[in-house]
Chains A and B, each alone.
Chain A
């Protein structure tokens, strides 16, 4: 295999095995959402910021953080103003009475959501999908499962391109797709049919093309790429997974009080 096809990832974080990065993201989610108090989300946030810096993806992680804004806003509003049985009002304005207890809970929940989101972001930004699918297929994921995930993600740019073509065609026939939000929304409606039907129409040809490329042959597929792994990483994966579960159990049982 030539080097360009091996595509060995370089860098301290990117060079980790895809399964190790997936486990790190999973552990981040478990700890951020499962450990009581501030400790869990705070540790995960610090870890993902460090990982993001190591991998050089801090800026792009900010975009993922922006995506959590609607959820964060709703968490802040609901908890701060409607926290059940909270009496320590910060201020009372008419019927509105935000409380310190609610605000504290909201902040903590926000940290959990952001830590979870950033953990997933670091993984997504540092792991090519075909790397992950190759390794999952090596570990027993069926060729159909791997293909469905891979081709669905690969189809997104094609759908975007098709949508652009349909918009151009609609415009050429006089449809107004620019202007205010309502006008743009109305312009979307005639777009949906051609894009969806066009994609469905390709399904039969794609199915036949797969058959013509022996996709239904029995047995396991040959996997050309093998990404570097090590005993240390394998051990670390198990330790991290088991450690995070133990941490959550200890935290929830109240044996050890974490801040």
Chain B
């Protein structure tokens, strides 16, 4: 059985749609690595998340061609609750991801493990582990309905982690967050990737976040892979702007400095970082 989350020639068409939302996408995510996904609106980023997590087509219908395998297991042949333990999915909006039925963050994070019918002691152990991994233990007694956007997103992230998936798929987890919330989530993701060994597929508009934590970056355009490679290379690629993706601030600054005829040095880059 080969380790890794692998898409091979994956194409997906929504039910009733004329064209494919994803076309012949090849992608590989290894355990412990972070692959960033960028692209303009309607480029297929959210669809890619649903396909990778196995919710498309098993839950939302449509047609999937090609192969999506998680550690050698075909997602199309796996039931959603089993997939949830292999590949966790975090949506943009934390409020729709939380169950709305619990009184404390601790119970909210326990919702998934409880669904699996695990012994109570194991559920509690997993919950504290997930809260620690995300760095939100002090939030455990709080009411999930009364958290800030950033805190809510971290609770949603811990809720997914508590299922102990080998891979995490995050669909623009910072899109509704202010800079402070974005920093909270980005730091938590960097910590999770380093400490848990989970492979992370991170869809993100904010390329600074990708530059900070992604090992590789894939850029989508109209459902196909337009660019892919090591994060530093892809994020500095001049074609990025044409693909509707704003390069990170450091890349833009470097270009501005060079365009002004000034010298860009490694020391300057380090100082900015």
Residues of A participating in the B interface, judged by any CB pair closer than 8 Å: 1-2, 4-5, 7, 128, 130, 133, 143, 146-147, 150-151, 154-155, 157-158, 202, 204-224
Chain B, residue nearest A208 (CB): B55
Residues in A with CB closer than 8 Å to B53 are 212
Residues in A with CB closer than 8 Å to B101 are 130, 133, 146-147, 150-151, 154
Residues in A with CB closer than 8 Å to B81 are 211, 214-218
Whether the Cβ atoms of A5 and B60 lie closer than 8 Å is: no
Between A211, A213, A224, the greatest number of chain B beta carbons within 10 A of the residue's beta carbon is seen for A213
Whether the Cβ atoms of B159 and A222 lie closer than 8 Å is: no
Check if B265 is an interface residue, CB within 8 A of chain A: no
Whether the Cβ atoms of B80 and A216 lie closer than 8 Å is: yes
Whether the Cβ atoms of A213 and B112 lie closer than 8 Å is: yes
B120 touches which of A154, A207, A222 (Cβ 8 Å): A222
When A212-B53, A216-B81 are in contact, do A2 and B140 touch as well, CB less than 8 Å?
Answer: yes
Residues in A with CB closer than 8 Å to B120 are 1, 222-224
Alpha-carbon separation in the docked complex, A142 to B67 (Å)? 36
Chain A, residue nearest B84 (CB): A214
When A202-B96, A213-B163 are in contact, do A2 and B106 touch as well, CB less than 8 Å?
Answer: yes
Nearest CB of A to B47, in Å:
12
10 A–B contacts, CB within 8 A, in A order: A5-B106, A143-B115, A209-B91, A210-B99, A211-B84, A213-B99, A214-B84, A214-B163, A216-B81, A222-B116
**Minimum-distance CB pairs A-B, first 9:** A154-B100, A150-B101, A217-B81, A4-B141, A213-B112, A214-B81, A222-B114, A214-B115, A214-B84
Whether the Cβ atoms of B117 and A222 lie closer than 8 Å is: yes
Alpha-carbon separation in the docked complex, A148 to B140 (Å)? 24
Alpha-carbon separation in the docked complex, A12 to B85 (Å)? 43
Excluding A147-B99, A205-B93, A224-B120, 6 further A-B contacts by CB distance (< 8 Å) are A2-B106, A4-B104, A5-B104, A211-B59, A214-B85, A220-B117
Chain A, residue nearest B104 (CB): A5
B89 touches which of A151, A212, A222 (Cβ 8 Å): A212
Check if B223 is an interface residue, CB within 8 A of chain A: no
Chain A, residue nearest B58 (CB): A211
Residues in B with CB closer than 8 Å to A209 are 89, 91, 96-97
Residues in A with CB closer than 8 Å to B112 are 213-214
Nearest CB of B to A214, in Å:
4
A-B pairs with beta carbons under 8 A, tally? 116
Residues in A with CB closer than 8 Å to B114 are 221-224
Alpha-carbon separation in the docked complex, A128 to B59 (Å)? 33
Check if B95 is an interface residue, CB within 8 A of chain A: yes
A219 touches which of B100, B113, B117 (Cβ 8 Å): B117
Residues in B with CB closer than 8 Å to A158 are 95, 100
A207 touches which of B59, B103, B113, B117 (Cβ 8 Å): B59
Residues in B with CB closer than 8 Å to A224 are 107, 110, 114, 120, 123-124
Check if B193 is an interface residue, CB within 8 A of chain A: no
Check if B102 is an interface residue, CB within 8 A of chain A: yes
Alpha-carbon separation in the docked complex, A42 to B84 (Å)? 56
Alpha-carbon separation in the docked complex, A164 to B101 (Å)? 22
Nearest CB of A to B107, in Å:
6
Nearest CB of B to A217, in Å:
4
A1 touches which of B89, B95, B124 (Cβ 8 Å): B124
When A214-B163, A217-B81 are in contact, do A128 and B117 touch as well, CB less than 8 Å?
Answer: no
Check if B50 is an interface residue, CB within 8 A of chain A: yes
Residues in B with CB closer than 8 Å to A157 are 145
Chain A, residue nearest B111 (CB): A213
Chain A, residue nearest B118 (CB): A222
